[in-house]
Structure 1
Amino acid sequence: MIKEAQSYQAQGKDQSAIIQLKNALQKDPGNIQARTLLGSIYLNTGNLAAAEDELHRVLQSGNSGGKVEETLGQAYLARGEFQKIIDEIQPNPSSPPDQQAGVWILRGDGYLGLNDLTHAQTAFDTALKLAPKDVQAQRGQARFLLAQGKTDEATQLIDQITQTNPNDTTAWIMKGDLLRSHGAPPEKVLSTYQQALVADPKSGPALASLASLYLTMGKIDQAEAEVNTYNKVLPNSLMGKYLQALIDYGNKRYLVAQDDLDTVMKSSPDFMPAILLRGLTALQLTHYEEAQKDLSRFVETFPKNDYARKILARIELKEHQPQEALKTLTPLLGTEQTDPETNALAAQIYTDSGDFEKASQVLALSAQKNPQNAVLRTQLALTLLATGQENRAISDLEAASKLDPNYLQADNALALTYLGNKNYDKALKYIQLL
């Protein structure tokens, strides 16, 4: 039965292989080879909980062999269970160098997931020393360089890998992810992900990346087609259920998306992408307390994710927690990279706290750096009005009105201000623009 299962696996018929292995285990529950192979197939098909269960049974038997721990570690990694990797997956000095390197790579990824760059560097450096020509070790080093912010070095290393190993699906996906994160044209990112599928047409990660890209491009039908393909290739996959939740979210089927995510979270409660999406879904459903809980957990795990941090600050502000919102947003403030949206949010937080002077300072600095931004000029003017600086406020409102004739909030504020001053002619001028 094991030979038949291996034959089915080689043909890509994973479900048939699983049936053969289950039959083998029914006859002999102590068959370590069958159970190990079953756990490996479960991992490859995305059934992570089942993979963990089978591999744990192998380890408990005491007859595991060197690769089982590494395979179990890969299941932990896929589920985002980084601490389990560190606690349970240890290198065996008596194992061959390539097996030791594989374990060190896993530990490096585990440390990256825990934002422990010091130990991650040690792990990846050890892997490279053990297997300097190993592609997995090189990819691990590239991931570490990215975590350090050394984008150019990481890009160079990934390019080297794709040139010397054109069939390395994972490297192509990494390259596509890197292009995407740096604002490359979607078509260029798309062709890179498609190159990954050329290397492996049944690559779940490549199909997932394509689906995600199509969603950001607003091409939901194409995204759904990729998800359908993914679910045919990996019918029991955690990622497949998560991707379906993304599709439902993109189609504004928020309650359905919530059900999808509940299914994912039952199987993998620490799967951080699902936690983020569940928070966003709760936000759309105006379940602010649930949204805040999930976004807080995500930001705590990924403190450098600016997108999630800004959304969390907005939720906290909406929940009348301006001090918490300011604490959340503070790491993004006062740098050269601080964008107008972040400054505007900070000003709103200060305004809700009653600190109009601080709000006007933040907006004045941001408006100075972005003089063509009508929204910023208007928000600055409103804070100036709140502090009694009416002349400066009117000047900024008039400038905002000229910058963007379609932005009616500035015209509305001018009309109300002139009405309050009994300057009816000027008030009428701006009322007519509304």
Structure 2
Amino acid sequence: MIGMALFQGLFDREARVLEKVNHLVQAGVSALDAGSEARAAVAFVKALSLLEVREPSSRFEDYAKAFADVGEGLLRVGRLESGQAAANQAMALDRGNASVLALQADILVAQDRATDALGYYEIALQVDPKAKDLWERKGDAHTALGQAPEAVRSYMQAVSLDPNDTDGYARVIALSPQDAELWVRKADAHRRRNEPDEAQSAYDRALRIDSDRKDALEGKSLTYLAAGEPQRALRCLDRVIQVDPYDPNAWRLRGDVLAASNQNEEALRSYDEALRQRDADANAWYGRAELLRKIGRNVDAVYAYDRAVELSPKSLKPHTGRLEALRGLARWDEVVQETSKVIALEPNHAGALYAKAHAFLQTNRKDEAVTALDAFLAVEPSSYDGLETKRQLLLGAERWSELVATCDAILAIQPHHARALKDRGRALLALGKAEEAYATFDRLRVVAPDDLDALRGQRDALAHSKSPKVLLRACDTILQKDPTDRSTWTAKGAAHEALGQRDEALSAYDTVLRLDPHDAGASAR
């Protein structure tokens, strides 16, 4: 037991050392970021001295990483000798660690020994071939040696790991400034990063090298389109078509641009030409379908969506577009089928879930509509439209408990929603909760003081109580506004009866019979 305690204490001590070293490294990095190299150097040197006090008995990989981190910091503050000492310790503990190998390579580069560094970079990249920064540093080493082709290959490996790295493309272009394809790739990266000015500048550089470069012209058109300049986009695409009249991508993009600027007939002709050149173009079929739906040709749109789905069955957009076209055609059974396909691709697709409920409602499948609405509200619990539709369905089905919960959800969004208050009170009455119903109708009277339904709701709630005098006052208030309300005259008669006022009760029942001679309740009284 004593031996185990000693080992545990040793392990804990090593953990504490690593924690202190980590704090010092973070402090050094922060000092460098703040421009204080001297404070950073003190932190890194102190961290190294802590690690060198005792060789670890365990946690060898953790110690190797800690030496590597400290060595990197020492290298950044120009302490090459101390950095090499940290690298030596790290290599002794874990020669297969990519960070350790990279540190040794970086130190060799700093010592103007880039040739020796390349071997370490290569071994490190065998360990971690997706380490983008290692590919960049290897490229820098090749550049330092004047090995441009090898540097380009390393830099290209780095940008392949991050295609939006515009700085990475800039490194490559510095070595090969007349490579039009590189300028196009850099421009595409700027466009994806929503940097239109930089994108256009890079596309222009590519076009100065090769004025017929189609991908540069198409990239410029997409950039113009995103910036809301469709006419400029169109001129670029017309130039592409002038260079290559059979380019299906250019025709499809031309259709997209024309559709965005509501030149619908010309857009359709462009899509048709794109499909004539390449029928198996899912994007062209989708663009054509979207345009057809926009102009109300839903039958033709469904066919176009079908082709897009056939060519790209896992793509969500053609399915959602087809769903909306079917809704426009009121083909409700097919709508239900299509919503299931959309939900299979994206289970929480709120639009499809709601469309499914709407389709069930249109075909009078009300129970299924409620179930579908529940699925929709699980995704969009604060949807007013969803809650309002559910309220109406539950009211019609007399599902009182669920109706109360739904009205509560509506009132949480719109506290003064009169219809929700009204239905909540009605549901509570049906559930025999007269006091809660009365309070709900009282809230409704605050929202809508002249709403007779609020007064009638309170009347019905009071009919379940033992307060005939209060009930009488409520009835009198209603009858002042609507003297022909038979239900209120009946309730007034019942209140007089409860108070032992026989003549007044008979008078109230007589009024009911005058209003409706066939009223069985009043006749029985």
TM-score normalised per structure 1: 0.49
Report which structure shows greater RCO (CA 8 Å, sep ≥6): 1
